[in-house]
């Protein structure tokens, strides 16, 4: 009899506990809060985020937005804090993450994210297929891209080019011709700042695109293009040749230091993502007057893309409010409010071009017409572990200039990552 009473008591207590848990969960869901986690703390990025918050608040009055930001280089600090929270079962309602493998191979693979196909059910035609591919895994979409940056851009000092009668090179052969002419005039042709090795990784990816084409480059990340193919080997040798025209102190500078060399006229060109335009404008330079741009040599017709996105963690404390946030992120209104401040273009193809400057308008036109490929250096093309192995190999390549050794390292990294 005592045993039966004890079992009844245990069942009663378990029932109470389950009800309390349910009430707590429902209470959190009913809370008028929304926590957005990001590393956007400075300049235009914080201003752009604030614009999206305004839209959200106008559409959802009474919901308190908790702007949970963690400052620090390209999100490194924020990612560490996020990992602790996600692993501890305390996710934010939504968080910033680079599109592609940075999310797919981490929190999606760990079963921590909800698919959000329903967000795109009526707006799929507003996004290029290449972007949908980058944010998808196994037929499902897992994040909303709020912007697009382009990695394959050649920036150049227009006054120097005019002085020496030069035009922006379309091909790699033209690049070397222009570089040789500049060198003969005592001007360092290419500015590079790879104290953070990602800048050289990004430069290499643009050469791979030039040598392999869009489909060949994308095949590197699926196993369809061999890393020991003639095209890859040619790209590595070409990359080494390009380094011969770069500033000698490149390993002591960050990317913005390289951009400053172009501003100062000490170097004529740099290959960098289009956040460089924001740097030039912050230095009071006028687009298409003081500086010009073109697709990096040999990549015309291809848009090397990276994107900041937001997803929906499983167990988001205020899921309904998070879904409304993702709807703002996916909307034309939200993206046109955010991107002119951020200095990027919308991930949609129907953005209002009148809101963007002359460079961003040209990027929007290319984005809607070009083949879209994922950036390696910025988390879209390869898993974080694969990117680390490639970055280590590029570090040695820049130092040793040994093409065969580098290619062997790339092949080994692909085998480990693709499990071939």
Q: Which domains, from first to last, does the chain contain?
A: 30-148+306-374 (3.40.190.10), 150-304+377-418 (3.40.190.10)
Residue partners of 12: CB distance under 8 A and separation at least 6: none
Yes or no: say if 102 and 44 are a contact pair by the CB < 8 Å rule. no
Residue found under tokens 């007057």: 289
Q: Is the pTM of this model over 0.85?
A: no
Output the pLDDT for position 21: 46
Angle at 76 between CA 326 and CA 91, to 5 degrees: 40
Residue partners of 244: CB distance under 8 A and separation at least 6: none
Alpha carbon distance 347, 332 (integer Å):
9
C-alpha to C-alpha distances, 330 to 123, 148, 335, 349, nearest whole angstrom:
9, 13, 7, 12
Q: What is the DSSP-derived secondary structure letter of residue 306?
A: E
Output the pLDDT for position 25: 47
Helix (H) / strand (E) containing 304: strand 302-306
Give me the tens of pLDDT residue by residue for the chain, a chain 420 residues long. 444 455 455 445 445 444 444 444 455 556 899 999 999 987 678 889 999 999 999 999 999 999 999 986 567 789 899 999 999 999 999 999 999 999 999 999 999 999 999 999 999 999 989 899 999 999 999 999 999 999 999 999 999 999 999 999 999 999 999 999 999 999 999 999 999 899 999 999 999 999 999 999 999 999 999 999 999 999 999 999 999 999 999 999 999 899 999 999 999 999 999 888 888 888 899 999 999 999 999 999 999 999 999 999 999 999 999 999 999 999 999 999 999 888 899 999 999 999 999 999 999 999 989 999 999 999 899 998 999 999 999 999 999 999 999 999 999 999 999 985
Q: What is the DSSP-derived secondary structure letter of residue 381?
A: S
Output the pLDDT for position 15: 52
For the record, the structure tokens of 117 come out as 């196909």
Output the pLDDT for position 14: 45
Output the pLDDT for position 30: 62
C-alpha to C-alpha distances, 4 to 1, 11, 13, 18, 87, nearest whole angstrom:
5, 11, 14, 21, 39
Q: Which of 135, 92, 100, 97 is nearest to 116 (CA)?
A: 135
Residue found under tokens 């937005």: 65
Helix (H) / strand (E) containing 359: helix 358-369
Output the pLDDT for position 42: 72
């Amino acid at each position: 009899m005592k045993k039966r009473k004890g079992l009844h008591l245990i069942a009663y207590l378990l029932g109470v506990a389950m009800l309390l848990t349910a009430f707590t969960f429902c209470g959190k869901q009913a809370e008028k809060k929304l926590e957005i986690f990001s590393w956007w703390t400075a300049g235009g990025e914080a201003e752009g985020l604030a614009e999206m918050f305004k839209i959200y608040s106008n559409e959802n009055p009474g919901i308190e937005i908790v702007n949970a930001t963690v400052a620090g280089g390209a999100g490194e600090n924020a990612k560490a804090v996020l990992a602790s929270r996600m692993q501890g079962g305390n996710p934010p309602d939504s968080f910033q993450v680079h599109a592609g493998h940075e999310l797919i191979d981490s929190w999606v693979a760990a079963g921590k994210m909800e698919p959000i196909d329903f967000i795109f059910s009526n707006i799929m035609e507003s996004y290029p297929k290449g972007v949908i591919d980058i944010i998808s895994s196994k037929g499902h979409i897992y994040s909303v891209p709020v912007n697009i940056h382009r990695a394959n851009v050649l920036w150049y000092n227009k006054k120097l080019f005019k002085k020496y009668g030069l035009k922006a090179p379309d091909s790699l052969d033209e690049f070397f011709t222009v570089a040789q002419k500049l060198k003969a005039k005592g001007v360092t042709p290419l500015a590079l700042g790879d104290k953070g090795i990602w800048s050289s990784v990004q430069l290499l990816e643009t050469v791979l695109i030039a040598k392999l084409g869009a489909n060949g480059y994308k095949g590197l990340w699926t196993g369809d293009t061999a890393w020991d193919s003639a095209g890859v080997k040619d790209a590595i040798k070409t990359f080494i040749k390009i380094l011969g025209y770069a500033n000698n102190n490149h390993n002591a500078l960050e990317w913005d230091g390289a951009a400053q060399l172009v501003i100062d006229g000490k170097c004529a060109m740099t290959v960098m993502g289009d956040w460089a335009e924001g740097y030039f404008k912050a230095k009071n330079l006028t687009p298409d007057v003081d500086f010009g741009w073109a697709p990096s040599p040999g990549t015309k017709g291809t848009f090397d893309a990276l994107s900041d996105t937001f997803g929906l963690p499983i167990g988001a404390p205020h899921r309904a409010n998070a879904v409304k946030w993702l709807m703002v992120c996916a909307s034309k209104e939200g993206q046109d409010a955010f991107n002119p401040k951020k200095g990027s273009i919308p991930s949609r193809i129907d953005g209002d071009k009148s809101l963007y400057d002359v460079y961003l308008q040209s990027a929007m036109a290319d984005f809607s017409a070009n083949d879209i490929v994922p950036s390696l250096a910025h988390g879209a093309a390869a898993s974080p572990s694969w990117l680390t192995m490639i970055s280590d190999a590029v570090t040695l390549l820049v130092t040793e200039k040994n093409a065969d050794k580098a290619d062997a390292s790339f092949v080994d990294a692909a085998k480990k990552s693709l499990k071939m």
